[in-house]
Amino acid sequence: MVPEFPIQVESKVPSLRPASIPYNVQHLILITTQRLLEECCLDFAVKWAPTMVESKGWDCAEAAELTMWTKTLVKLSDELPADAGFNDSGMPLSTVFSSIDSLRHSAVHRLPTSAQGIQKMVQSAIRLAMTLGDNTRAAILELVEAGLDRRIKDMKLNKNFLENRMDCQLQMIREQRKELDRKENEAVSAMFREDIENKVLTGSILETLVREAFSLHNHWESRLKMGNGTLLMPDKNNDDSIEHVRESSKGADLGDEVDIFDI
């Protein structure tokens, strides 16, 4: 019986990770964006809340963390003139300010982020810069965001290409494996089949040999009974002896003399 082989499980195309950029570039984008926003906040506060800036001793953008700037400005928003901010995003002002918390958190704690995640952080930064009326820095951030957007689209296209190519390669490999499995099964079947054929052939040869041996034995017994003599037994290791006995046996059938020695 031919042994059964385990069924091969088809390989699936491994999914690539979401598009990402080298961490050093990510960190550069985030810390630069954070610095620009801190400068936006300082300029806004100096213009609309100079007393607060002076009382806190914030004489430079780096004097306070970005989240401290945004929390302070949110608290002051109700006291500021109506034209101080330009929030046309449709989002509450508090949400506009808090949306950049993840940017500062990722930059400070060195958290690897997907390219799309970075893009969303930069978009939040653009929205905050425009809300604070800093169109110059908003334009700089828009350039960064546009570059990210192009690269993300390129990376997605490349990932799709790589996955599609891998799918085709795996399909070819599956077909080749199927053909190899077929050949392997054929080879194993041929081995077992030829082994059985060899067994049958060996049995046939042995059967013929045994029948001939018993035929000679019966002939010798009959001659001994008739002639009360001893028949020269063949040497099983000597082919000439066996052949001589066979010829003698044939001669006996024809009435020829057989070598029989009296006891």
Residue 221: the pLDDT is: 77
User: How do the domains of the chain map onto residue ranges?
Assistant: 23-163, 206-261
Say yes or no to pLDDT of 235 above 60.
no
Residue 82: the pLDDT is: 74
Q: How far apart are CA 114 and CA 17, in angstroms?
A: 9
Q: How far apart are CA 220 and CA 114, in angstroms?
A: 98
pLDDT tier, 228 (very low <50, low <70, confident <90, very high otherwise): low
243 contact partners, CB below 8 Å, separation of at least 6? none
Say yes or no to pLDDT of 203 above 60.
yes
Say yes or no to pLDDT of 260 above 60.
no
Mean pLDDT across 186-208: 95
Say yes or no to pLDDT of 246 above 60.
no
Residue 168 CA: distances (Å) to CA of 9, 12, 159, 162, 177: 17, 11, 14, 10, 14
Residue with tokens 């997605």: 156
Mean pLDDT across 36-42: 96
**Which position has the higher pLDDT, 52 or 249?**
52
Q: How far apart are CA 151 and CA 155, in angstroms?
A: 6
Say yes or no to pLDDT of 49 above 50.
yes
Chain Cα centroid distance, residue 98: 40
Of the segments 6-20, 125-139, 216-230, which one has the largest average pLDDT value?
A: 125-139
Q: Which of 231, 235, 234 is nearest to 220 (CA)?
A: 231
Per-residue pLDDT tens digits for 95-150: 899 999 999 999 999 999 999 999 999 999 999 999 999 999 999 999 999 999 99
231 within 8 A of 223, measured Cβ to Cβ? yes
Residue 261: the pLDDT is: 38
Q: Which of 92, 105, 99, 6 is nearest to 65 (CA)?
A: 105
Mean pLDDT across 205-231: 78
